[in-house]
Amino acid sequence: MENSKLLPGEKYFQEVRTTTFRKEEYYYIHTGIIDEEGEMWTTTEMDEANIFQVYNQYRVKHGIPFPDEISGIREHYGLSAAKMSQILGFGINQYRMYEDGEVPSVSNARTIIAAGEKDVFMSFVEASKSEMSAQEYLRVKKKVEAADGDYKSTVQPSEYSGYRSLSADKVASVVRLIISTVGSTFVTKMNKLLFYADFIHYKKHGYGITGITYKALPFGPVPELWGTLYSSLPGIDMEEFVYPSGQSGIKLEATGTADNILNESELNTIHRVCALFSNMSAGEISQTSHLEKGWIENIDSRSAISYQHAFTLNFD
């Protein structure tokens, strides 16, 4: 699964295993490497993908917010992670650790969720007033008062969104990077490139990139409400292209520039996907996606494809 090549006699393997997390047992798809003598081991990347499958289930079961939601609440008020920790009574670096993937305790999770309500969070600010200078207190209070109501997550993270919150800015960054790498791209092909980027990243890291939900449709996996999605992307234009034959398609073009908000693993995955599929036509990549088990098992009902199908992909 990693870019490094296997040594002779080594191969990747996957198997269903159970593990205990906070005194509860969970099933997950364990990925590792095995050699011809039967010795098994994992890489740091594989460990991440394995454990995040467990974390995802625990969060869903206990109603614990995901990292996107945790950072979204902080960004809603325009405060630093250190200041959020201080106001909520956590350890000095705890809020940042939660944003980076550490799973909060149930009690801390409920505190974070409550902080999404503006009035409740203001009460936390008032309660921590004595821990701030007068100037700092007034600055924080002003920022919270300026926030636009309560924090609202766009889509609840689930196995159908790669356990990410849908972000138009994140989708735009991925689309912009793909266009800058392979050139202007028709929607039909972009749908598949996004699908493979999200699902390969989930396979390697235990969570997707964009938060997009994909449905199995006749031409392959397609983002849910793709027309609305693409038309809402900042810095991305949709242009109708008409061929001499009279057939037409919708081409995506990047306009202007924007700050990169993708992390290293996301960038690497997108470059990998572009390398795999850049030379394929829209029709060829559609036919390739028809070989994926996630599409095959959902096309009859045209339903959403679970990201757990990432472990059945024909590509790494």
Could you read off the pLDDT of 13-23 as tens digits, one per residue?
A: 999 999 999 99
- pLDDT (tens digit per residue) in 171-229: 999 999 999 999 989 999 999 999 999 999 999 999 999 999 999 999 999 999 998 99
d(CA 23, CA 196): 35
Domain span holding position 133:
67-146
24/74 same-domain check? no
The verdict on residue 272 lying in a domain is: yes
Residues 222 and 284 in one domain: yes
Q: Is the pLDDT of residue 245 over 70?
A: no
Instruction: Decide if pLDDT at 237 tops 50.
Output: yes
Amino acid 247: pLDDT: 67
Tokens for 310, please give them: 């990432």
Q: Which of these ranges, 6-15, 75-84, 218-227, 266-275, has the smallest mean pLDDT?
A: 6-15
Q: Does 153 reside within a domain?
A: no
Q: Is residue 187 part of a domain?
A: yes
Count structural domains, the chain. Answer: 3
Q: With beta carbons less than 8 A apart as the criterion, state whether 164 and 210 touch.
A: yes
122 and 246 inside one domain: no
- Among 28, 45, 62, the domain boundary falls at 62
Does one domain contain both 47 and 139? no
Residue 4 has pLDDT above 60, yes or no: no
Same domain flag for 229 and 279: yes
Q: How confident is the model at residue 1 (pLDDT cuts 50, 70, 90)?
A: very low
Does the residue 192 lie in any domain?
Answer: yes
Asked, for residue 198, whether it belongs to a domain, the answer is yes
Asked if residue 175 and residue 207 are part of one domain, the reply reads yes
| 97 and 195 share one domain | no
Mean of all residue pLDDT scores within the chain: 93
Residues 237 and 210 in one domain: yes
> How far apart (Å, rounded) are the C-alpha atoms in residues 10 and 35?
4
| Domain finish residue from 114, 146, 178 | 146
Q: CA-based Rg of the chain, rounded to a whole angstrom?
A: 22
Query: Would the pTM of this model clear 0.85, i.e. be above it?
Result: yes
Q: Are residues 74 and 119 in the same domain?
A: yes
pLDDT at position 258 over 60: yes
Bridging pattern class, strands 214-217 and 220-223: antiparallel
Tokens of 107: 């009690």
Do 280 and 259 share a structural domain?
A: yes
Residues 15 and 119 in one domain: no
Same domain, 56 and 123: no
Q: Is residue 282 part of a domain?
A: yes
